[in-house]
Amino acid sequence: MKKVLLSIATLVLANIAFAQTPITITAGDVPVSGDTLRYSTVLGLTSGINVNDSGTNKAWVYDTLKPLAQTVDNYQSATAVNFTYGLTISATAYGYKIADSIPGLGSLMPGLTIKNVYTFFNKRTTPGRFVAEAFAALIGGAPIPANYSDEDEIYFFPLTYPHATDSSTFAVNVSIPTLGSLKRAGYRKTWVDGWGTIKTPYYTTAVRCIRVRSEIHEVDTIHITTPITFNYPIVMDTVEYKWLVNGDHYPALWVTQSKHTAQLTSVTYRDSIRHGLVNVSNTPKLTIQEIKAYPNPITNGLVTIDVPAGWNNFTVYVYDAVSRMITTFANKNELNIAALAPGKYYLLVKSGDNIGYTQVIKQ
């Protein structure tokens, strides 16, 4: 009987230790070259995920998530993706295709196509960190790589709880010959805001994890030099939540939220093959499209824009002919610009990861 009681006590103590010990994430727990990481996508609106549920010794139970589709990220060296990338990007960098294409830019830059878009990563030491170091894509059919002038530090190691806030900036400039450039710049603030265990449809038995929160401010600027000189700045403020476990290179759960609307814009989790789901390729972070405005030219100071259905929370930015932002409108598709001087204006509409644009003439 004493042996039985001793065994029970040992199991109870082991379970308590399992639950009450925060793990540590190191450089060995992030993707490496050659990884094939499969994940499933969930509809954020119906996921039931409470991103405000943070703290110590949490039990995150999300094993009833309903996957809609699956994607596989294949991490390869820059040279393996395109041998010319290896002339610019370091031999130790590796990455995956983040988008098959970026639609909509052809209207801004006639004849332009951007396909097979990659981000390349690397591990750094002193201090230990995981960074995005390069961008590459087929732009107008030509392979164009670009190293970050200021690397994006995604994680600083080790990650455990408690963990001080890490703040870093990033910047990359992709030159498009004869047309202009694509620029990305911003900052990232990251910290560990909780630890405990998590269950998902993949991790059916609870596993220990930490939760990493990142606040990201990013400005993507489309700089056009022909046929006119113009800048389209696209501002994105997002919050990422990643539940990380030891020994796996993809988050057990990864949620992206719009900082301004609090809407969950992306929910994915580490998964295995599930037959019957749609296997999809990587989709672009942004969708860009031209929208209509009428009347055009404007004679009475009022202009109506066709905001696509489903863009429930949107902002209209008004720029003049030399790219100065003049004014903004929130959730209005009928705009009164009677106070503006006659001339050409550019309207940029942003709703989450959706971008619309048009130009109008005020008489």
105-139 pLDDT per residue, tens: 655 666 678 889 999 999 999 999 999 999 999 98
Per the structure, the count of domains in the chain is 2
Strand-pairing partners, residue 233, are 221
Question: What's the rounded Cα separation, in Å, for the pair 356 and 287?
Answer: 8
Buried b (16+ CB within 10 A) or exposed e, 196-215: bbbbbbbbeebbbbbbbbbb
The answer to the question of residue 204 being in a domain is yes
Q: Is pLDDT above 50 for 44?
A: yes
Closest CA to 207 of 25, 6, 28: 25
Q: What rounded mean pLDDT belongs to the chain?
A: 86
Question: Residue 5 has what pLDDT?
Answer: 43
* Per-residue model confidence (pLDDT) at position 104: 60
Q: What is the pLDDT of residue 1?
A: 46
Burial of 35 by CB count in 10 Å (0-12 exposed, 13-18 middle, 19+ buried)?
middle
Exposure string of 60-72, with b = 16+ CB inside 10 Å and e = fewer, is bebeebebeebbe
The answer to the question of residue 15 being in a domain is no
Question: Model confidence at 287, in pLDDT bands (50, 70, 90)?
Answer: low
Residues 341-357, mean pLDDT to the nearest whole number? 80
Of 356 and 243, the structure prediction assigns the larger pLDDT to 243
Residue 284 domain-assigned? no
Which of 279, 300, 318 terminates a domain? The answer is 279
Q: Say which residues have a Cβ less than 8 Å from residue 174's Cβ, sequence separation at least 6.
A: 135, 137, 139, 144, 146, 181, 182, 183
Q: Which pLDDT score is estimated for 199?
A: 98
Q: Which domain holds residue 208?
A: 23-279
- Does residue 166 share a domain with residue 46? yes
Q: Are residues 300 and 252 in the same domain?
A: no
Q: Find where tokens 């006659």 sit.
A: 342
Whole-angstrom Cα distance, residue 316 to residue 350? 7
Please give the pLDDT value at position 160: 96
In this structure, what are the phi and psi dihedrals at residue 140, rounded to the nearest 5 degrees?
60, 30
If pLDDT is split at 50, 70 and 90, which confidence band does 22 have? very high
Asked if 278 contacts 43 with a C-beta cutoff of 8 angstroms, the reply is: no
- Do 128 and 41 sit in the same domain of this protein? yes
| Range of lowest pLDDT (5-19, 165-179, 279-293, 295-309) | 5-19
Q: Is the pLDDT of residue 7 over 50?
A: no
**Residue 227: is its pLDDT beyond 70?**
no
- Domain boundary (249, 279, 309) is at 279
Q: What is the predicted pLDDT for the residue at 16?
A: 46
Residue 151 sits in the same domain as residue 275: yes
Per-residue model confidence (pLDDT) at position 14: 44
Residues 111 and 85 in one domain: yes
pLDDT > 90: what percent of the chain? 52
C-alpha torsion sign, points 98, 256, 252, 150:
positive
Task: State which of 279, 305, 329 marks the end of a domain.
Answer: 279
160 and 238 together in one domain: yes
> Do 77 and 173 share a domain, yes or no?
yes
Residues of the chain above pLDDT 70, percent: 88
Q: Please report the pLDDT score of residue 348 as a whole number.
A: 80
Domain identity same for 202 and 350: no
Task: Please name the amino acid found at residue 225.
Answer: T
- 264 in the same domain as 302: no
Does one domain contain both 177 and 295? no
**Domain co-membership, 263 together with 296:** no
Q: What is the pLDDT of residue 218?
A: 94
**Residues 195 and 268 reside in one and the same domain:** yes
pTM here is 0.77
Using 50, 70 and 90 to split pLDDT, how confident is the model at 12?
very low
Q: Which residue has the higher pLDDT, 298 or 5?
A: 298
Distance separating alpha carbons of residues 223 and 184, to the nearest angstrom = 11
The pLDDT tens digits for 290-323 are: 788 888 888 888 999 998 887 878 888 887 776 6
The whole-number pLDDT of residue 4 equals 44
Residue 353: inside a domain = yes
In the beta sheet, which residues pair with residue 322? none
Higher pLDDT, 143 or 281: 143
In this predicted structure, the answer to whether residue 167 has a pLDDT above a threshold of 70 is yes
- Indicate whether 2 belongs to any domain: no
pLDDT at 108: 62
